[in-house]
Structure 1
Amino acid sequence: MKPSSSRLPTLTILYHPRLERVGERVQLEELARPGARIAVSRLEPGFAPPFQASAALPLATSFLSRRPTWLTADYGGSFTIDVQDSGATVFVDGFPIAGSFTIPAPSVQKGAVIELGGQVILLLHLATDRAEPTERHGLVGESEGIQEVRAAIGRVARSGGGPALVRGETGTGKELVAAAVHAASDRAHKPYLTVNMAAIPASLAASELFGHVKGAFTGAVKTQAGKIDLTEGGTLFLDEIGDLPGSIQPKLLRFV
């Protein structure tokens, strides 16, 4: 029986000698039942791009043995990986496996990295059994997290506008998400601009955002429109907004 949440044990290819196969996956519905096991080898199971199960192909690389490595579902959401039959060199989350090893449930929920034969890397994780693909919005990846990000982009884009806060660590793609929201919205034909607040001196922040007239300050040799005016009807992405000078924050709050 499937779990009520329809999150199924899944193997996704993180690395393969044929790079075009990265991202292919197989959902292991049978492993939703404790005690069930599947064989992982050169010959099985079949991996396919998401939502293209009919195109499934085995890993089919000579670096893997035809003899299987076994993956067994345990009670409580953990899994046992057994390499005794295959004799393969296997690592789980960077640790070498000899004989059998239990992958605990928290590791599976987070995503356990399984390296086979030094040439194939798989991710054992839980993934939603989606019947249809979501709009990709230009983002790469098929994990639960990236699917949720895509869904959120669609919701925000359809909301009709207004301020939106994009949060994430440096380098996680906040600007890509902002651009995707703009591209999927009714404002897509309007301007889209990015302003890195950390790169603007505090003394010029107000001018950068709101513009200035000629002679407003030393060096203002001509009237200049601000980024807010330039993106009228479109989208203005303020990157590193935490570095916005305190003197500008009340003005920006009145604007938004």
Structure 2
Amino acid sequence: MTGLRVDELEALETRTCHKRGGGAEGRERAAVEDLLDQVRTIEWLLRLHLAAMREVTEGSPRLRPVEAEGSLRAFLELHDVVVLEMRRHLSELREAPTMDNARRFAEFWHRVIVPHAQAEDRVLWPLARSLGLGGLSSSVDSLEAEHHEIDELVDAYTMAVDRLEQKDATPADVVGAAQAVRGTVELHFGKEEESVLRPMQRGVTDEQFWPVVAEQDRTIGPWLRAHGWQATTAGR
């Protein structure tokens, strides 16, 4: 992907990420141009890493093991169902970027991803903030803001599909817009699980968390069950 040998790429990563001399004093001595150059290199390395990970996860998806039980397990399994369907749609679109496939992916974003995020806004975030766990509220604030970013990316994808239908965009434009949404959503899910859901395990009971699952069930439950989700909130 880069034209570099593996050892050359690793050497570049090491030079870029290595802490440069003397703590704060060393940072003060660093020229602004040098810092900006490092930032650009880090950004490039990150994009390279994510591109490689995209190929791996779409080619042979392996989801992280679920280590929770009860309501939290049900929620994590919900994420798994959504991620696999998202990957399937993108793979289908990349192989055959037709209007039908593009419209189906747009429907998925609007019928599943956006309502899922709105259900989290209504129930998950207020519950997480109510626990008073150190640092949790700031994590919630960050992830809540990402929902707005995802909404904007979904709108951009829908506009790209409309422009494709009007012959004002290419299939590559639509695929690129789809990849942008998919990458952001999947990274968002990972951050949510690690920075919000995992810490919540220490401060929330199974019964306290069930309303989070129930709201997802109420919002997108029929779609989830049609795609393999087996959780039930009956009687909860």
Same fold (TM over 0.5): no
TM-score, scaled relative to structure 2: 0.20
Q: Choose between structure 1 and 2: higher strand proportion.
A: 1
TM-score, scaled relative to structure 1: 0.19
Over alpha carbons, which structure has the higher Rg?
A: 1
The higher-RCO structure (CA 8 Å, 6+ apart) is 2
Q: Choose between structure 1 and 2: higher helix proportion.
A: 2
